[in-house]
Amino acid sequence: MSETMRAVDIKGGAGPVSALHITDVPKPKPTGAQALIKIKAFGLNRMDLLQREGHYPVPPNAPKTLGVEFSGVIEAFGDKPESSFKIGDEVFGLAYGGAYAEYIAVSTHMLVHKPKELSWEQCAGIPETWITATQAMYLVAKFAPGKSILWHAGASSVSISGIQLSVADSASAVYATARQDEKCDFAVKTLGATAAFNTKTQDWAAEVLKATDGKGVDIIIDFIGGGEYFQKNLDAIARDGVIVNLGLMGGTKLPEGTDISAFIRKRCSYVGSSLRSRDEDYQGKLRDQLVEHALPRFKDGRFKLLIDKVLPWEKIQDAHQLLEDNKTKGKVICTIS
């Protein structure tokens, strides 16, 4: 068996799209509870762009190779795998890194058996986005039926997942924002959101207050962070509401004159969170919740697994460019033949 494999690398360790290339690297060896997976497909995420540019802190001991979600076939095990898996099993899962490659060694605690109803490409786009949405909604924001919720970047993969979860689990209202009318229509007509607002042409916070008779929304899931969104989140949140921040696409600085009085007036909370930095036990519990709560809905088609583009991994530069252009509605997936 070869000691090397092909994987996507970055010339110079960090750089633009053009720095991505495929090269030979050492093949991982599974230890402990790990399985060695021959990868069929992997999903792209915005964190991959940040990591490629050198702006994303990779967890300690994580592979330097990009990629955290994948689908494939188990080829070998360490000495302490979960008993529910065997060699030859078709699986998909979440990793701390290393998915842009022919093989990955990953804990069996983060694997899920691939349903026959779903393709390799669909399964490769599930773990990061659906688990992130589940974590933000339930564990951090404490969502319960009857609460209202707003998802920023409504056509992003995490929000596509979150909007569907919110609708299925009886939110009183589900709102979204996007920067294009087409994406707002998509959030409403395809995903089932109550309403969606164009952040370029509308005062979305004012629209949320109008739609809720001045109450605001109970939960806001935000990927933007800084800039004007911080203030508008405080304007749009309801009393005792929770704002969950998962990203900093709007930067880390707040405009002069930002008014934080809502923290006291509304008794609201602002919580930062991430998934990749969590330990294996935490992620494993989220995997279990995904399997119990969402997997049956994937299999029977109630939840839509939306893929914008599938490319062979030799076109990894094109795949990253698609994400950078911010025109996608759904996942970008790469396949390995």
Query: What CATH number does the domain containing 176 carry?
Result: 3.40.50.720
pLDDT of residue 227: 83
Q: Are 151 and 159 in contact (CB under 8 A)?
A: yes
On whether the CB atoms of residues 127 and 68 are closer than 8 A, the answer is: yes
CB 280 within 8 A of CB 110: yes
**C-alpha to C-alpha distance for 122 and 147, rounded to whole angstroms:** 30
Do 151 and 245 fall within a single domain?
Answer: yes
| Tokens 């039926």 found at | 145
Residue 292 lies in a domain: no
Whether residues 119 and 141 share a domain: the answer is no
Q: Enumerate long-range contacts of 4-9, CB under 8 Å, 24 or more apart.
A: 5/101, 5/102, 5/103, 6/101, 6/102, 7/65, 7/98, 7/100, 7/101, 7/102, 8/65, 8/66, 8/67, 8/100, 8/101, 8/313, 8/316, 9/65
CB–CB of 133/76 below 8 Å? no
Mean pLDDT per 10-residue segment, the chain (337 residues):
93 97 97 96 95 89 93 95 92 96 95 97 95 94 98 94 97 97 96 97 98 98 89 97 90 90 97 86 86 93 94 98 91 96
- Nearest of 196, 237, 232, 233 to residue 214 by alpha carbon: 237
Do 91 and 20 sit in the same domain of this protein? yes
Domain that holds residue 120: 4-126+307-335
One domain for residues 57 and 138? no
Give pLDDT tens digits for 178-208. Answer: 999 999 999 999 999 999 999 999 999 999 9
pTM: 0.91
Say yes or no: 313 and 326 in one domain: yes
- Alpha helix segments (H runs only) across 169-251: 181-185, 204-211, 228-236
For residues 203 and 229, the answer to whether their CB atoms sit within 8 Å is no
With respect to residue 81, please indicate whether it lies within any of the assigned structural domains: yes
The total number of structural domains that make up the chain: 2
Looking at the structure, tell me whether residues 107 and 204 fall in a common domain.
Answer: no
Residues 262, 203 share a domain: yes
Q: Which of 272, 288, 323 is the last residue of a domain?
A: 272
Are 115 and 46 contained in the same domain? yes
In a domain, residue 294? The reply is no
Q: pLDDT at position 326, please?
A: 85
CATH number at residue 89: 3.90.180.10
> Of 225, 249, 272, which residue is a domain's last?
272
- String of DSSP letters for 246-282: ---TT-S---TT---THHHHS--EEEE--STTS-HHH
Q: Provide the 3-class DSSP secondary structure of residue 175.
A: strand
Sequence-distant (6+) residues with CB within 8 A of 181 are 198, 201
DSSP code of residue 109: G
Helix ranges, 53-180 (H): 120-124, 127-134, 157-168
Statement to judge: residues 215 and 318 lie in one domain: no
